Amino acid sequence: MTGGLRRTAVAGVVAATLGLGGEPAPPAGVPGIDVLDYDVELSLELSGAFFQGRVSIRLAVQDPRPSELPLDLSGLEVEWVRVDGADTPFRRDGGTLRVPLPRSVEVGDELVVEVLYGGSPVDGLILRENVHGVRSAFVDNWPDRARFWLPSIDHPSDKATIRFTVHAPSAWSVVANGRMVGEPSPTDAGALGGARGRRTWRWESGVPVSTYNMVVGASEFAIRSVGTAACGRAPATTRDDGCVDVSYWVYPADTSFAAELFARAPQMVDFFADLIGPFPFEKLANVQSATRFGGMENASAIFYSEDAIARGTMAEGTVSHEIAHQWFGDSVTEAEWSHLWLSEGFATYFGALFFEEADGTDDFRRRMEESRRRYISSDDVGQPIVRAESNLMDLLNRNNYQKGGWVLHMLRGVLGDEDFFRGVREYYGRYAGDVILTADFQRTMEEVSGKNLEWFFRQWVREPGYPRIAISTEWFAASGELEIRILQEQRDSWPTFRFAVDVEFELPGRTLRRSVDVRDRDHTVRLTLPQAPTGITFDPDGWILKEIIGDG
Ligand SMILES: [Zn+2]
């Protein structure tokens, strides 16, 4: 996502068990349970703060066989629970709905657990008037707020397919993950909540997604297609032409700004499909919504801040960031929240790469420089990127976003464009639809490049800080040598950074570049030059995340 409101108090946010240091932690879903599919029916109203829901959860029982299914569910009333069609006693235990599994269930069996529930959600499903005073319903889950409206295994490591049947006031349009199934039709009298002049919309994602990406949005929308993209590179599409439709769903008053904002969305999808791999989902809708974030990358249905679109302040960089997330975060997903940079750092960097391609190197470098400034000016520099936070909202920090993006940029600098992008394509090819940890990315990049990158990932991802560099020089006329002294003056608790850096020398009528391999806190090198330079630029192309604190 982008523009996250940090430090927002969220009821019921849990601290995941997090992997620290080099060894990846095992995924922290529920041992012995693999949810395969959520089939959700929602009844939405034109007034009040009430909804009804029914979900059928199809799951596989694995080793170790659990005795119960602990579903995440906060607030709301549960009317009944059925396991394979049989009414089953259940227990509410804080934010957990505990459903005993029949004794006859064995490892390898599949079960269907059905829950009828409803009430006034305190979070996760936002039922209120939108920025123009029109009643709306929007889901906003990140990181673990799906539990406020959907009984679920609410952890990114357990992906599942999802189907939605949504009964909504007839003036509303309903968007959700995946593809729309049929056209909206008058709601049946026997539907959840009854007919009452409503319409029923059906959506389904045949591609498994994490719960934080499962959304429904319903309001009075203007719906516009911006075109098609990823033609022939969209295995999940059901269109005959092999493309995905790229659309926006915005409030009617905001269509002219939206037309500008999303004009290049198909171009972005094509760019990422070329650079990374096939587009993973059935379509791509860009939706004005009640999300608390600037943008939220829900799989195939990106939600954007309704205020930022209504005010005309939403930046195109948010659009490219959220679209890049469809590959990184939504398709290749961190198995543990502490590895969030695999989602946010990638979206930050690949989102910026679109502008390098479309608008030129200067535009891209401005974005990277802005990222650098925001990182080094933050309090987050004292912590490593991969780090447990007891409040998951605290993960929306400048390590996971700005520094994470820079880690990828520096890795591109170390490996060169060919190996870097070949490695990224291999990583996406291996793990699309799956969940991963940083070690999986490191291993893939090492295998593709043939280089040991342990030092790189340790110093940049698992240790805090960045090099703070003081440079001094002295010219030795007799030998025609320039001595350059590079001091790393960061805190003692930060690592000594290893990096190769270009130094550019201004000579009369020309410039000359040399590469310097820095591995020590106090590094001195002598370079032979044709004459004394009149100027020196350290890292002229901006490949190293650093701060120059003085020069000689
Ligand atoms: Zn993001």
| C-alpha of residue 170 to centroid of ligand 1, in Å | 33
pLDDT (0 to 100) of residue 259 = 98
Alpha carbon distances (Å) from 440 to 8, 63, 124, 245, 407: 31, 24, 31, 32, 15
User: How many C-alpha atoms does 376 have within 13 Å on its Cβ side?
Assistant: 17
Q: Are 283 and 244 in contact (CB under 8 A)?
A: yes
| C-alpha of residue 521 to centroid of ligand 1, in Å | 34
Instruction: Report how far residue 60's alpha carbon sits from residue 54's, in angstroms, rounded to the nearest whole number.
Output: 20
Beta strands in 272-363 (DSSP E): 284-289, 295-296, 301-305, 333-334
| C-alpha of residue 102 to centroid of ligand 1, in Å | 41
Instruction: Report how far residue 290's alpha carbon sits from residue 46's, in angstroms, rounded to the nearest whole number.
Output: 16
| C-alpha of residue 328 to centroid of ligand 1, in Å | 9
CA 243 to chain centre: 23
| C-alpha of residue 232 to centroid of ligand 1, in Å | 27
Q: What are the structure tokens assigned to 481, written together? A: 């040598």
| C-alpha of residue 294 to centroid of ligand 1, in Å | 9
Burial 447-472 (b: 16+ CB within 10 A, else e): ebbeeebeebbbbbbbbbbbbbbebe
pTM: 0.95
pLDDT (0 to 100) of residue 22 = 37
Q: What are the structure tokens assigned to 135, written together? A: 């009643």
| C-alpha of residue 488 to centroid of ligand 1, in Å | 32
Going across the sheet that includes 547-551, the strands are 522-528, 481-488, 468-476, 547-551
| C-alpha of residue 516 to centroid of ligand 1, in Å | 35
Cis peptide before 143, with omega less than 30 degrees from 0?
yes
| C-alpha of residue 431 to centroid of ligand 1, in Å | 19
Q: What are the structure tokens assigned to 283, written together? A: 């379509």
| C-alpha of residue 321 to centroid of ligand 1, in Å | 6
Q: Are 137 and 44 in contact (CB under 8 A)?
A: yes
Coil/strand/helix, residue 69: strand
Query: pLDDT tens per residue, the chain (552 residues)?
Result: 887 554 333 333 333 333 333 333 444 679 999 999 999 999 999 999 999 999 999 999 999 999 999 999 999 999 999 999 999 999 999 999 999 999 999 999 999 999 999 999 999 999 999 999 999 999 999 999 999 999 999 999 999 999 999 999 999 999 999 999 999 999 999 999 999 999 999 999 999 999 999 999 999 999 999 999 999 999 999 999 999 999 999 999 999 999 999 999 999 999 999 999 999 999 999 999 999 999 999 999 999 999 999 999 999 999 999 999 999 999 999 999 999 999 999 999 999 999 999 999 999 999 999 999 999 999 999 999 999 999 999 999 999 999 999 999 999 999 999 999 999 999 999 999 999 999 999 999 999 999 999 999 999 999 999 999 999 999 999 999 999 999 999 999 999 999 999 999 999 999 999 999 999 999 999 999 999 999 999 999 999 999 999 754
Q: Which residue bears the tokens 């940049």?
A: 460
Alpha carbon distances (Å) from 8 to 4, 141, 388, 450: 9, 14, 17, 44
Amino acid in position 534: T
pLDDT (0 to 100) of residue 95 = 96
Instruction: Report how far residue 83's alpha carbon sits from residue 387's, in angstroms, rounded to the nearest whole number.
Output: 39
User: How many C-alpha atoms does 370 have within 13 Å on its Cβ side?
Assistant: 10
| C-alpha of residue 460 to centroid of ligand 1, in Å | 20
pLDDT (0 to 100) of residue 483 = 98
- The size of the chain, in residues, is 552
| C-alpha of residue 401 to centroid of ligand 1, in Å | 8
The 10 Å Cβ neighbour count of residue 122 is 16
What DSSP string runs through 347-368? HHHHHHHHHHHHH-HHHHHHHH
pLDDT (0 to 100) of residue 552 = 43
| C-alpha of residue 448 to centroid of ligand 1, in Å | 27
